[in-house]
Structure 1
Amino acid sequence: MEEDERLSHRSSFGTAAAAYAEHRPDYARTAVRWALEPAPGPRVLDLGAGTGKLTATLIALGADVTAVEPDPAMLTELRRALPAARALPGSAEAIPLPDASVDAVLAGNALHWFDMAVAGPEIARVLAPGGILAGLWNVMDDRIDWVAGLARVGGCAAIGPRDTPTGWRAETADAHLPETGVAARFGSPERAEFPHGQRRTADSLVATIATRAGMLVMPEREREATLGRIRAYLASRPETADGEFTLPMLTAVLRVRRL
Structure 2
Amino acid sequence: MGMAERGSPGLSFGEIAVRYDRFRPGVPTAALDWLLPEDCETVVDLAAGTGAMTSQLVDRVRHVVAIEPDPQMRETLARNCPKALLLPGTAERMPLPDGRADALLTSMAWQWFDPLHAVPEIARVLRGGGTFGVLWNHRDLSVPWVAELDRFTRALRVRESGQGATGQTPSRIVADPPTGSLFSPLAELRLTWSMAVTPEEIVGLMGTDASAIALPAEAQHAVDEQVARYVHDELALSAGQTIELPMACRCLRTTKNLDAAP
TM-score normalised over the length of structure 1: 0.82
Are positions 1:236 and 2:233 aligned together?
yes
Most deviating of 194-203 and 237-246: 237-246
Closer/same/farther in 2, CA of residues 238 and 213 from structure 1, 3 Å limit: closer
The match for 1:194 among 180, 184, 191 is 191
Gaps of 5+ in 2: 158-171, 258-262
In the TM superposition, 1:47-66 aligns within 5 A as 47-66=46-65
Deviation at 1:51, TM superposition (A): 0.8
Deviation at 1:249, TM superposition (A): 0.6
CA distance in 1, matches of 2:117, 2:145: 40
The question of whether the paired residues in 2 share the 8 Å contact of 1:153 and 1:229 is answered with no
The question of whether the paired residues in 1 share the 8 Å contact of 2:200 and 2:228 is answered with yes
Identify the residue that residue 9 of structure 1 maps to in structure 2.
5
Closer/same/farther in 2, CA of residues 138 and 240 from structure 1, 3 Å limit: farther
CA distance in 2, matches of 1:10, 1:119: 19
Q: Secondary structure, in 3 states, of the residue corresponding to 2:53?
A: helix
Residues matched between the structures, number: 237
CA distance in 1, matches of 2:155, 2:187: 27
Identify the residue that residue 246 of structure 1 maps to in structure 2.
244
Closer/same/farther in 2, CA of residues 87 and 191 from structure 1, 3 Å limit: same
CA RMSD across the alignment: 2.4
Give CA-to-partner distance per residue, 1:197-237, whole Å, 9 cap, x none. Answer: 22211122111221222211113454344334422321123
The question of whether the paired residues in 1 share the 8 Å contact of 2:129 and 2:256 is answered with yes
Gaps of 5+ in 1: 1-5, 159-169
In the TM superposition, 1:42-191 aligns within 5 A as 42-155=41-154, 171=173, 174-179=175-180, 185-191=182-188
CA distance in 2, matches of 1:128, 1:31: 22
Identify the residue that residue 204 of structure 1 maps to in structure 2.
201
Give CA-to-partner distance per residue, 1:38-63, whole Å, 9 cap, x none. Answer: x6733111001111111111122235
CA distance in 1, matches of 2:121, 2:155: 31
Q: Secondary structure, in 3 states, of the residue corresponding to 1:60?
A: coil
CA distance in 1, matches of 2:47, 2:147: 29
Which amino acid in 2 is paired with 1:233?
Y
Closer/same/farther in 2, CA of residues 7 and 106 from structure 1, 3 Å limit: closer
CA distance in 1, matches of 2:136, 2:3: 19
CA distance in 2, matches of 1:177, 1:64: 27
CA distance in 1, matches of 2:193, 2:214: 28
Deviation at 1:105, TM superposition (A): 0.7
Give CA-to-partner distance per residue, 1:158-217, whole Å, 9 cap, x none. Answer: 7xxxxxxxxxxx956x324343xxxx5212122212222222111221112212222111
